[in-house]
């Protein structure tokens, strides 16, 4: 028997494969393609205090082996999530983890306190790394002081598993991880998108309405792997790795670099059923290498 | 409507001319229900510059053969690479996606297509004519090479043509066709797909005459299934995803259209 289960603080995941915020809707968009209850967890779209319309179109540009996005946290707000979405998803047999965003510390607190009351939401992912909003977002995640301040404030109101999502747009990501660990985070997830830009030379114009946007997909994988490796050496709390994972082999590389679990983002757009293939692929790998548990390969880089 | 990921068998590829081609794809199973206006997300293999799928309208379907047709314009890397696919090869698609053209309330319908924008209108004209509606199709393009298979539409009703250079039909823009200059605009509803400026002009004309106009948008997409929120258009009820709440909109819904 191969045991795919892992734990993030008190949160038991039946396998280490989860889907990344903003790339998997509320899971419902994918039920035609596979049984989403097979996933270790689902991170839902960035949720803010009030309804947000997000940025103007165009919000997306394809780039070599990846894409830029500038969605800008379009969502209907936490109250809508609680009244309309939560009842639909709460009985699905996987963990729904809400990605929490805001422009001010007060807004983060408001969203986290409301989510703390929901029985079937076992964890939140604090998004202090969104590059696509004018205020808040990444601004909180690029200095140790502000990352620590917002993490502390949320730790006081949020009693369940608190995951803090780190921005790669910093000089030293390990320092950031250490700062949020000290501030009470139960886990860190990384990486959010890398700030990037694409232009149309013929028209001499940027391709995104916001000029800059967040880069994701296979193009970012080497950076993400490096950062997961650095962070997992620097902190004791479990690390959730992501960035460019397209195949089971990619996922295994993150586990070897020290991630306890992984998230799949952009790959869902190319193959909506990719995450089950990755679950099966990890199991296959463990069997081939004669391991009984995922823990046998976590941090197993020689 | 349930969506499928299918490895379709390429049973035909026909070049219309150097700019356009038609692919005929056979499903591995019974074709799901497909309504005019819906589209597929095509996976493009063999070009390292193409990462995402490409959205393409369903040009027509054949429920006896379980095939669909795609009419594609060679625009950039993806559509050029796809033009080399051969009969017998497999093509992975996600379908059927998006909403559809709505059923008309009255008879006498006008379909207006510009260039490759004609793609979703062939199935629509057949669908409407099979349901005993009177259909008229107006096709516009830069030159006669951009007027793709007008005889196909003639099977279902009258066809009018305009080209910018006058090489086929009336000379000028689609919106300058004599049909729009008649004393009375006799159609009860307009369906259009093509360049944005053309669709906006058609929509303004229809609305001015008190007739509804449905437009098919071609926003840039990543997922095509409502997960990424990249494909939004601003409507009177906020941003909506073109891949799930579109690509077909009543033009009155769209901000800045009338
Ligand atoms: C719902 C829907 C249905 C469509 N149906 C058809 C169809 O039936 N037949 C068909 O030929 N095409 C159709 N298109 C358009 C088609 O998806 C694009 O032409 C295709 O994605 C271009 O890919 P490419 O790799 O060839 O070009 P790229 O190399 O990606 O692009 C070439 C150039 O075109 C621009 N461009 C690409 N896509 C778009 C876009 N959607 N809007 C504006 N500019 C763009 C790029 O910025 C670039 O400058 C449809 C689009 C949508 C959203
Ligand atoms: C379209 C899109 C929307 C995203 N929205 C969010 C979001 O709301 N909150 C967040 O924390 N990360 C968001 N992300 C970042 C992803 O969750 C993930 O961190 C990033 O894409 C890297 O993983 P990938 O390369 O597997 O996609 C988004 C990414 C994409 C592509
Ligand atoms: S393309 Fe992803 S939501 Fe429409």
- Does B258 map to a domain? no
Same domain for B115 and B230, yes or no, is yes
- Does B65 map to a domain? yes
Q: Model confidence over B174-195: pLDDT tens digits? A: 999 999 988 888 999 999 999 9
The pLDDT score that the predictor gives to residue A56 is 94
* DSSP string covering chain B: ---EEEEEEEEEEEESSSSEEEEEEE-SSSPPP--TT-EEEE---S-TT--S-EEEE--EEETTTTEEEEEEE--SHHHHHHTT--TT-EEEEEEEES--PPPPSSS-EEEEEEGGGGTTHHHHHHHHHHTT--EEEEEEESSGGGS--HHHHHTTEEEEEEETTSSSSEES-GGGSGGGTSSS---SEEEEES-HHHHHHHHHHHHHTT--EEEE-----SSSSSSS--SEEEETTEEEETTTT-SEEEGGGBTT--
Same domain for B162 and B240, yes or no, is yes
Which parts of chain A sit beneath pLDDT 50?
none
Torsion angle of the four alpha carbons A252, A254, A256, A260, in this order, in degrees rounded to the nearest 10: -100
Give the CATH number, domain containing residue B71. 2.40.30.10
Spatial distance between the Cα atoms of A24 and A20, rounded to a whole number of angstroms: 7
- Does B103 map to a domain? no
Among all residues of chain A, which has the CA nearest to that of B45?
A270
Averaged pLDDT score across all residues of chain B: 96
Average of per-residue pLDDT across B90-113: 97
The pLDDT score that the predictor gives to residue A134 is 64
> Among residues 213-242 of chain B, which lie with CB inside 8 Å of chain A?
219-234, 238-239
Same domain for B88 and B130, yes or no, is no
Angle, CA of B66, B72 and B73, to the nearest 5° = 175
Q: How much is the pTM?
A: 0.96
Spatial distance between the Cα atoms of A17 and B94, rounded to a whole number of angstroms: 23
Same domain for B120 and B27, yes or no, is no
The pLDDT score that the predictor gives to residue A264 is 98
Same domain for B67 and B158, yes or no, is no
**Reported CATH class of domain A6-296:** alpha beta
Nearest CA among B201, B126, B127 for reference residue B162:
B201
Q: Model confidence over B232-254: pLDDT tens digits? A: 999 999 999 999 999 999 999 99
- In this structure, the residue with its CA closest to atom 5 of ligand 2 is A22
Give the nearest ligand 1 atom to B74 CA: 26
- Chain A contact present for B53, CB below 8 A: yes
Nearest beta carbon to residue B230 from set A59, A65, A272: A59
Give the CATH number, domain containing residue B185. 3.40.50.80
| Residue range of the domain that includes B12 | 4-97
Same domain for B70 and B187, yes or no, is no
B217, B247 contact by CB (below 8 A): yes
A73, A133 contact by CB (below 8 A): yes
Nearest CA among A134, A117, A115 for reference residue A125:
A115
The pLDDT score that the predictor gives to residue A135 is 62
A144 included as an active-site residue? no
- Does B128 map to a domain? yes
Domain boundary among the residues B65, B97, B129 is at B97
The pLDDT score that the predictor gives to residue A205 is 97
Same domain for B135 and B226, yes or no, is yes
Other C-beta atoms closer than 10 Å to the C-beta of A299 total: 15
The pLDDT score that the predictor gives to residue A139 is 74
Which positions in chain A touch B53 (Cβ < 8 Å)? 269-270
Distance B242 CA to ligand 2 centre (A): 20
Domain boundary among the residues B97, B130, B159 is at B97
Find all residues with CB under 8 Å of B102, minimum gap 6, and list them: B214, B248, B250
Using the beta-carbon criterion (under 8 Å), do A268 and B223 form an inter-chain contact? yes
- Does B104 map to a domain? no
Same domain for B152 and B245, yes or no, is yes
pLDDT grade for B196, boundaries at 50, 70 and 90: very high
Owner of token pair 């559509």: B79
Residue B4, Cβ density class (10 Å: 0-12 exposed, 13-18 middle, ≥19 buried): middle
The pLDDT score that the predictor gives to residue B183 is 81
Same domain for B72 and B114, yes or no, is no
Number of domains in chain B: 2
The pLDDT score that the predictor gives to residue B31 is 97
Residue A279, Cβ density class (10 Å: 0-12 exposed, 13-18 middle, ≥19 buried): buried
Domain boundary among the residues B43, B73, B97 is at B97
The pLDDT score that the predictor gives to residue B149 is 96
Same domain for B89 and B128, yes or no, is no
Helix (H, G, I), strand (E, B) or coil at A83: helix
Residue ranges per structural domain of chain A: 6-296
Q: Is the CB of A99 under 6 A from ligand 2?
A: yes
Give the residue, out of B54, B68, B122, B149, with the most ligand 1 atoms within 8 A of its beta carbon, to mutate for a pocket test: B54
The pLDDT score that the predictor gives to residue A242 is 98
The pLDDT score that the predictor gives to residue B258 is 77
- Chain A contact present for B81, CB below 8 A: no
Sheet strands side by side (includes B170-171): B170-171, B157-163, B135-141, B109-114, B189-193, B213-216, B248-250
Same domain for B129 and B223, yes or no, is yes
Strands A123-127 and A161-165: parallel
Same domain for B81 and B153, yes or no, is no
Catalytic residue among A92, A130, A185, A191: A130
């Amino acid at each position: 028997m191969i045991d795919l289960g892992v734990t993030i603080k008190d949160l038991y995941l039946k396998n280490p494969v989860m889907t990344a915020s903003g790339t998997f809707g509320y899971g419902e968009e994918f039920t035609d393609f596979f049984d989403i209850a097979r996933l270790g967890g689902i991170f839902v779209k960035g949720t803010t205090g009030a309804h947000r319309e997000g940025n103007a179109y165009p919000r997306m540009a394809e780039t070599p082996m990846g894409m830029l996005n500038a969605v800008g946290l379009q969502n209907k707000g936490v109250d809508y999530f609680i009244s309309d979405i939560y009842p639909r998803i709460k009985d699905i047999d996987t963990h729904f983890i809400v990605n929490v965003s805001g422009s001010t510390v007060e807004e983060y607190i408001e969203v986290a306190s409301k989510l703390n009351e929901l029985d079937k939401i076992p964890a939140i992912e604090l998004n202090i790394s969104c590059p696509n909003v004018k205020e808040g977002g990444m601004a909180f995640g690029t200095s140790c002081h502000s990352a620590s301040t917002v993490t502390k404030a949320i730790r006081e109101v949020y009693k369940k598993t608190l995951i803090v999502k780190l921005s790669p747009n910093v000089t030293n990501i390990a320092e950031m991880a250490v700062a949020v660990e000290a501030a009470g985070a139960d886990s860190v997830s990384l990486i959010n998108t890398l700030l990037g830009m694409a232009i149309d030379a013929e028209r001499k114009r940027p391709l995104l309405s916001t000029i800059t946007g967040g880069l994701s997909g296979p193009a970012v994988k080497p950076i993400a792997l490096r950062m997961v490796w650095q962070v997992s050496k620097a902190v004791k709390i479990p690390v959730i790795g992501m960035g460019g994972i397209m195949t089971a082999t990619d996922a295994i590389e993150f586990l070897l670099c020290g991630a306890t679990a992984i998230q799949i983002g952009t790959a869902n757009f190319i193959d909506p059923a990719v995450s089950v293939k990755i679950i099966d692929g990890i199991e296959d790998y463990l069997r081939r290498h004669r391991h009984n548990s995922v823990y046998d390969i976590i941090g197993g880089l020689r | 409507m349930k969506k499928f990921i299918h490895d379709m068998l390429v049973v035909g590829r026909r070049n219309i001319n150097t700019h356009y081609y038609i692919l005929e794809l056979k499903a591995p199973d019974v074709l799901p229900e497909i309504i005019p206006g819906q589209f597929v997300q095509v996976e493009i293999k063999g070009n390292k510059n193409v990462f995402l799928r490409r959205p393409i309208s369903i040009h027509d379907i054949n429920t006896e053969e379980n095939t669909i047709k795609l009419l594609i314009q060679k625009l950039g890397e993806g559509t050029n690479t796809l033009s080399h696919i051969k009969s017998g090869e497999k093509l992975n698609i996600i379908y059927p996606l998006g909403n559809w053209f709505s059923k008309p309330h009255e008879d006498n319908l006008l379909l207006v297509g510009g260039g490759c924008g004609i793609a979703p209108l062939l199935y629509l004209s057949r669908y409407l004519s099979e349901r005993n509606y009177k259909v008229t199709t107006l096709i516009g393009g830069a030159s006669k090479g951009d007027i793709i298979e007008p005889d196909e539409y003639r099977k279902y009703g009258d066809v009018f043509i305009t080209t910018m250079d006058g090489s086929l039909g009336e000379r000028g823009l689609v919106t300058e066709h004599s049909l729009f200059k008649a004393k009375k605009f006799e159609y009860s509803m307009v369906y259009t797909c093509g360049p944005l400026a053309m669709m906006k002009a058609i929509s303004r004309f229809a609305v001015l005459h008190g007739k509804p106009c449905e437009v098919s948008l071609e926003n840039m997409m990543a997922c095509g299934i409502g997960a990424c929120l990249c494909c939004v258009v601003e409507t009177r009820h906020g941003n909506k995803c073109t891949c799930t709440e579109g690509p077909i909109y009543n033009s009155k819904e769209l901000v800045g259209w009338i």
